[in-house]
Structure 1
Amino acid sequence: MGSSNMTYLNPRTVTLIGIPGLEHIQFWIGFPFFVVCMVALLGNIFLIIIIPTERSLHQPMYIFLAVLAVTDLGLCLAIAPKMLAIFWFGSYSMAFDACLAQLFFIHALQGMESGILLAMAFDRYVAICDPLRHTSILTPFFLVRLVLMVAIRAIVLVGILPILLKRLHFFRSVVIVHSYCEHMAVVKLAAEDVRVNKSFGLFVAFAILGFDMIFVFISYILIFRAVFRLSQKEARLKAFNTCTAHIVVFLEFYILAFFSFFSHRFGHVSPYTHILLSTIYLLVPPALNPIVYGVKTKEIRLRIAQICILKPDIHTAVRQS
């Protein structure tokens, strides 16, 4: 797979080894990941179908959820095919440009997901702290602009990462110790000065994930302060209930994200532990998000029942509930 005393000039292909130390059981590890991917694909496809067709869900929170579902769907499709090809068919080789493309899509979609979570937190903040102005602030035009800003921010910032990698010409190895093309895993292959790559990678991580996490946290501090000021217990419980699903999704996304990020750069965990956790971090949230929101949203549950068992009186059930 390459010798440590060799230098590669402008390599055309790289080799992904999967999970180092667990190569002998990668075939079996692929099955639970396949199940997670299928849950994510089916769950997010259901959301993409249900939210546009169910008029009661044409609200900012669920519009953001539909965008989140598209993002999660793209993330699964960017990672799963090559990863499962490595685990099941030994397809280790990958074109270097294809690797950079995968790297871009994975990190850009991560950035978009983080931005959508921030947008959802802003929606909850306005709905609870300034409910009379909710519809006048979160207009359809504002929602479109917000989603476009989230997408442009991720595309522009993450788009510079593969450009900086492309300017490198000498690599000490073409073997990526990972199951997908991750920025730092590729940077570590270079036999040149990569301080710019590392510094900009840190900047992108904190400009997107760090910025979003801080403002989501601030939003919920303000939300909880407003909720605790409500005099009626029922009103407080109802307000908390509207935020529960988003809090669960927010916590599982950012906790896994920052654990993966810091363990890759500053931690001392074993390579297979890091790679397993980083893969779980990318694939588990897309599978959990539809489940969490599906459980919490009656209209989504009923519409899924209609799709699965073709129940004819579903709209009657929604109106009666």
Structure 2
Amino acid sequence: MSGTTVGLTSEREIARLISKVERGEVTDVAGELAFGTSAGAHVIGITGSPGSGKSTLVDVLARQMRADGRTVAILAIDPSSHLTGGAVLGDRVRMSSHSQDPGIFIRSMGTRGSTTGLARAARDAVKVLDAAGYDIVIVETVGVGQVELDVLTVADTVAVVLVPGLGDTMQMNKAGIMEIGDLFVVNMADRPETSRFVRDLKQALAVGARHSHTDMPPVCCTVALTGDGVADLWATLREFDERDQASGRRLARCQEQQSRELTRRIENQVMAMLHQTMDTSARLDRLRHQVRAGELTPRAAADEWLAGLTVHME
């Protein structure tokens, strides 16, 4: 691996730290790794609707990256088991062909109840993999439609995977996911309806680009099962990252992500403090009794409780 390893010298150590992150045992990954020790990994978000072949595409894309001499970490976000909380689909099994390659690290993470398609701990796991020195970190989301927008909080480049014949352009446009893609991948492009689908997609993207006064995102066609088009996709991703670094766009996105993380962490801590206060509030118990008895409306009771609440924060 290239880059600075920041004390993470083996896959076992990396996996152990990510496990601690998932269990909530590490509250400040950046602090633990020494803030500012990013090795500069290119973080690529692969998102799109279920059934679009994202995992197969990630598998062959990683192989292409390795052929180009890059080290790759894959963070695959899967639905969680209701019994164990672990990842159900297990991309570590699906991508087992890479198991003997020391230049590829694969980790499945369950969403653990998150409705955003991105595990809550995924942001910190990306920091761990970046600090470990991988050249590329691929985050493959679970694929749940509208809520895939959360991938913007971790990725430098977002690739949206679509499939001809599934009505993806219409569904993605309604969901708003068309607005987050830096580039679009039409997978299963050997289908007969591909040409019309690509034409419609480019027309939709051109309209969006005119409205937002930005360049139209590139569109790549692939057949992940055969590997067709994957080399061109990797070349496009490289060019996109080089352009983003030269223009300062990648740095600006990173700074915006840090700002959003600050807001998110403040919100989480305030909510935790509120829940703790609510659990130990005799006054709230009295208000609950009055609401049950019909003496107060929930709105009036909430206003009264909040009016008397004092939260001390340093």
TM-score (norm 1): 0.25
Bigger helix share:
1
Q: Which has the higher contact order (CA 8 A, sep 6+)?
A: 1
TM-score (norm 2): 0.26
Bigger strand share:
2
